[in-house]
Amino acid sequence: MHPLEILEFPDPRLRTVASPVKNITDEIVKFTERLLFTMYDATGIGLAATQVNFHQRIIAIDISETKNKPLILINPIITESAGEIESNEGCLSVPGFYEPVKRFSEIKLEAIGANGESFSFEASELLGICIQHEIDHLDGKLFIDYLSKTKRQLIRKKLKKTNANRPGSK
């Protein structure tokens, strides 16, 4: 299996709002497997379908140290939220940058698993932060949108320069 290409900021496709998954088909299940594979290959803890240019509401997460507790969330919806927590966030679509972001400290959500079963659960700490970060991707939002305009412009400039210096770029 080959990893999917992860889009990088400022690619405008990262701003696409994902559509709900209507049916859990074999293709959707296979896609969730590739999404997980891509996330593991990139050594991430979360990856949204939007980040690989597939604009449906699917998220892959695994915050375990052993990378053996994958979580697939299809059509995730946060139903309740409380508190506030600030942590340094990074993103596979904004490589090399880590900035403080405030999020809800506790969330309750509903989602569908790759098996087609609906479920709900509560999440806090790293899992809650990761879920909120990935849902933002499905809504066309990046963690850097929580930063000042000046900081975003600086990150954009640095990433454009880095991408221009990659082999094969013009």
Q: How many residues does the chain have?
A: 170
Is 134 labeled as catalytic in the residue annotation? yes
Structure tokens at 138: 């499905």
3-state secondary structure the chain: CCCCCCCCCCCHHHHCCCECCCCCCHHHHHHHHHHHHHHHHCCCCEEEHHHHCCCECEEEECCCCCCCCCEEEEEEEEEEEECCEEEEEEECCEEEEEEEEEECCEEEEEEECCCCCEEEEEEEHHHHHHHHHHHHHHCCCCHHHHCCHHHHHHHHHHHHHHHHCCCCCC
Structure tokens at 141: 């939002």
Catalytic residue among 84, 106, 117, 134: 134
- The whole-angstrom distance between residue 77's C-alpha and the CA centroid of its chain comes to 14
Q: Say if residues 121 and 112 touch (Cβ distance below 8 Å).
A: no
Q: Which residues are catalytic?
A: 134
